[in-house]
Amino acid sequence: MTADPDPTPLALRSDAPAPPPPTAVGPSRPAGSAGPEPQASSVPSVIDLDSDLATEPSVAGGKAAALARAHAAGIRTMPAMIITTAVSQRYDAGEDLTGLAELAAVVENVAPKGGPMIVRSSSVVEDQASSSQAGQFETVLDVHGLDQLIPATKAVLDSRARAGAEDQPIAVLVQPMAEPQIAGVAFGVDPVTGRSDHRVVVAVRG
């Protein structure tokens, strides 16, 4: 087998073209600021990976916050927009997502040419050190346009019931849907031995 010259972990690689600059969808907290977690009323409905709030699990959920940290560290990642936990809290209070104008910015930034998107869960109880909650929440594939994004987002929010996390906020991670040649998972800690000096990549073709 020919050696791959790209050292980037396979799970984090993408040959997709770079997206256009994100549309501004809400204020970011100044870099390096300290203090209590932001209140839902002050959190934008939609943020991108460059937002200072994107690395906060209370805003972006566990999965998206980890992706934002990787992005901030210079690791090549798929582009993404995050529908924050503030939206799930408003949804739980009875707000209709149809009236959420910021969702149009998600489509504009993730799939500007109308390509398919993947709509993924990012719960505050997901991707934790003690529990990954893998497969417990909904993922919606092959989503096209705003008309399909709204019900896909609702499906992810409603999947908290089957995961036993109805009372927990959840963010929604929206990315371009890739057609990879190779896909897999990169572990920052050996999943068998727990050693932090090992990096493990498990990958398959397709």
Q: Where are the domains of the chain?
A: 10-15+42-178
pLDDT of residue 204: 94
CATH superfamily of 10-15+42-178: ATP-grasp fold, A domain (3.30.1490.20)
Written as tens digits, the pLDDT of the chain (206 aa) is: 444 455 444 444 444 444 444 444 444 444 334 445 656 568 999 999 999 999 999 999 999 999 999 999 999 999 999 999 999 999 999 999 998 999 999 999 999 999 999 999 999 987 666 666 666 789 999 999 999 999 999 999 999 998 888 899 999 999 999 888 998 888 888 888 989 898 899 999 98
Can you state the percent helix, strand and coil of the chain, rounding each to 5? 25, 15, 55
The answer to whether 56 and 64 are in contact (CB under 8 A) is no
pLDDT of residue 186: 84
| Conformational region of residue 61, where left means phi above 0, alpha means psi within -120 to 50, and beta covers everything else | left
Tokens for 61?
């959920």
